[in-house]
Chain A
């Protein structure tokens, strides 16, 4: 399957508009970004990872170890895609033109400094520096870089993810790339909790009443909250490690087939804000809430 599958994305955006109040305003922005990614990959082929030993991976998984594949990336491709996503973002808000200028200059500096292959950590450092230098707020930086990294990872790892023995995996982190999840779903048929890796797209099942971050399974110390007017999305939290993740209950919105959870995640960022307000931090490390938003809430209280 080509990534991103625009027909599927558009269908999901339509569904999210129906399910989540206020999401319509974001539609042009998300569509523009998805279009930009699709166009970019049409013009720039990314090679699928050639080295993958399925047997070795299975053995690791049986031992309870994540495969932790960390593909290296061509910096020209990575920055090219980042520029395309940033440009699409600016289209949604022309006021961001100056920001785009600054971003492009920082991207070029990064390119000058990295001539060989780059990794996720290199790009994450770039993200952190943009936040630190006040070019981007945390939420937009998280969006740009998670979209960039997930696009590149999925382009390279999709075929591996599909054949990985995730049925043997019981861990809380992704069996393929090793990152902590930010969202998942409850399956239609049995109500199983299934995580969807925000980075490489690998799907795996996890014990329903268990924290994926600290493995706490004491039901008295785990819980979830929903908003009164929308119970499609639960924010599951652990009172031991004080971290949260989001679970979309597909039984509530009768989803048939694949659900693009990254879109649902964007449509429910108000729940990330609520979780932070309640004192929980994202176990995935993805910061979707700005300090200024938290300060504003503190002032209101």
Chain B
């Protein structure tokens, strides 16, 4: 294509003069430099509050695999964004505050089973398999030792020596299985931490 000097200058002028927002003070890069480390990625994860039987919706803000905030789910039909004082404190299952008010990992949060052996003064960490084995054996031994088959000539098949406290952290299916165990082993003392 043949270009006259005039056309060339016009074209060159147009090439360099494309106007931008930076020219009027809206400088994207300098307003706040965008460096990779300055960006914080977060995920919003749906969950359901397990403190009671209402089942309020909760959104957990998770950054690098760590919960940084929890809040009521505004789209959940049960609570529409609100949470009760217990639900609001979900964050504190994972964190407590130090004397300066900064969140630190909750030292009282159990992440492994603990056992205090007969005669010992300290708690000892153990693996889940061993913990479950001990709990099952003690459960069976106690139940067998205190099992009542008949009372006043009536078959009762029960034990008063064990009581079972359920947890709102368990879901429907887990609670169904717990109820099966409770009845099949003759427990009559059972309750739940959130009777609503």
A residues whose Cβ falls under 8 Å from a Cβ of B: 20-23, 25-29, 89, 92-93, 95-96, 98-99, 102, 133-137, 139-140, 143, 187, 189-193, 207-209, 219-220, 222-230, 234, 266-267, 269-270, 272-274, 277-278, 288-290, 293, 296-297
**Which 10 residue pairs of A and B lie closest in terms of their CB atoms, listed nearest first?**
A190-B81, A22-B31, A25-B25, A26-B25, A29-B24, A192-B74, A137-B20, A92-B24, A139-B21, A274-B34
Contacts A23-B31, A99-B19, A269-B21; A225 near B14 (Cβ below 8 A) = no
Q: Are A135 and B74 in contact (CB under 8 A)?
A: no
- A-B contacts besides A22-B31, A25-B26, A229-B38, 14 pairs, CB < 8 Å: A26-B24, A26-B25, A29-B24, A136-B18, A139-B22, A208-B74, A223-B41, A224-B41, A227-B34, A227-B38, A266-B26, A269-B21, A269-B31, A270-B31
Cα-based distance from A99 to B33 in the complex (angstroms): 28
Q: Are B59 and A209 in contact (CB under 8 A)?
A: yes
Give B1-47 interface residues, CB cut-off 8 Å to A.
Answer: 13-15, 17-34, 37-46
Residues in B neighbouring A266, C-beta threshold 8 A: 26
B98 contacts chain A at the CB level, 8 A cutoff: no
Contacts A266-B26, A270-B32; A208 near B59 (Cβ below 8 A) = yes
Q: Which residue of chain B is the closest to A301 with respect to CB atoms?
A: B36
What are 26 A-to-B residue pairs whose CB atoms are below 8 Å? A26-B25, A89-B24, A92-B25, A93-B24, A134-B14, A135-B17, A137-B21, A139-B26, A140-B23, A190-B74, A207-B75, A208-B73, A219-B43, A219-B46, A223-B42, A224-B41, A227-B32, A228-B39, A228-B40, A229-B38, A270-B31, A272-B28, A273-B34, A288-B28, A290-B20, A293-B29
Residues in B neighbouring A139, C-beta threshold 8 A: 20-22, 26, 28
Q: Are A208 and B43 in contact (CB under 8 A)?
A: no
Contacts A22-B30, A220-B43, A223-B43; A28 near B25 (Cβ below 8 A) = yes
B residues whose Cβ falls under 8 Å from a Cβ of A: 13-15, 17-34, 37-46, 59, 71-75, 80-82
Residues in B neighbouring A143, C-beta threshold 8 A: 21
Residues in A neighbouring B42, C-beta threshold 8 A: 223-226, 234
Residues in B neighbouring A223, C-beta threshold 8 A: 41-44
